[in-house]
Amino acid sequence: MSRTSEPGRSVASRLSDILFAFDFEHTELTLSDIVRRTGLPHATARRLALELADVGALERGADNMFRIGLSLWRLGTLAPNAEMLRTTAQPFIEDLGTALHQHVQLAVLQGDRAVVIERLSGQNAIALESQVGGLLPLHCSGVGKVLLGHSSPDFIETVLGGTLRRYTSRTIVDPEVLRKELAYCRATGTVVVREELSDGADSVVTRIVDQRGLVVAALSVVVAAGSIKHQAVVPQLVSSGIGISRALGWRPGI
């Protein structure tokens, strides 16, 4: 029996099922898609999806496709931790964007994905599919690897023991290779990912640490493959990561 078919589940939990049916790979869903991804009865899914659309949490287009609504995104920006991170990081992101003219993005861990909470894009930066609020896989995105590498050993093994999707021909799906890369992330606080999530896009990433010494976010620069030397980006990126971390209260030695 699926969780969604269990008796006695609250309306709130069923609404949550519908909202979290959307992700980075499924930003637009038909009603049939929602039924399939949630396991809810068709009539229930339709009623709840239309109610969510009525209050702006979902949008229903003329094509009958459902999308996440603006009111839900506005509500999400009120989350205190994310907003504090965004506000603290903003000047550093702007400086990086001005200097590098590439995508600069900030991401945090949400469940078993990384969610982009801020991005600044250069005018001629490579086109990306992901958006602010989009979810990225942990095993093959740059920000995901930094966040995963600094997670608990149990969580790392859960992720590596699951299905590791191959997004491009360069996606690393070998758990042993990933364990070594995650160990490097922990040792250096940085990682370079080459065309693992999207063909033609590389990312250079560093960690963000809070006053407790915990990694709470990842800061990345996304560039067109071969357009820039990765090592030329690392010093400025790491310096920005340290600056954000210090602004959050982190001090060396914690």
Asked if 189 and 237 touch (Cβ cutoff 8 Å), the reply is: no
Give the mean pLDDT of 209-234. Answer: 88
What confidence tier does 80 reach under pLDDT thresholds 50, 70, 90?
Answer: low
Is residue 41's pLDDT more than 80?
A: yes
pLDDT attached to residue 180:
96
pLDDT digits (tens, 9 = 90+) for 5-14: 445 568 888 9
pLDDT digits (tens, 9 = 90+) for 123-147: 778 877 667 878 899 999 999 999 9
Task: Give the global pTM.
Answer: 0.71
For residue 48, give the amino acid letter: L
Tokens of 112: 């078993």
Question: Which DSSP string do the residues of the chain spell out, in sequence order?
Answer: --GGG-TT--HHHHHHHHHTT-BTTBSEE-HHHHHHHH---HHHHHHHHHHHHHTTSEEE-TTS-EEE-HHHHHHHTT-HHHHHHHHHHHHHHHHHHHHH-SEEEEEEEETTEEEEEEEE--TTPPP-S--TT-EEETTTSHHHHHHHHTS-HHHHHHHHTS-----STT----HHHHHHHHHHHHHHSEEEEESSSSTTEEEEEEEEE-TTS-EEEEEEEEEETTSS-HHHHHHHHHHHHHHHHHHTT--TT-
Closest CA to 220 of 110, 128, 123: 128
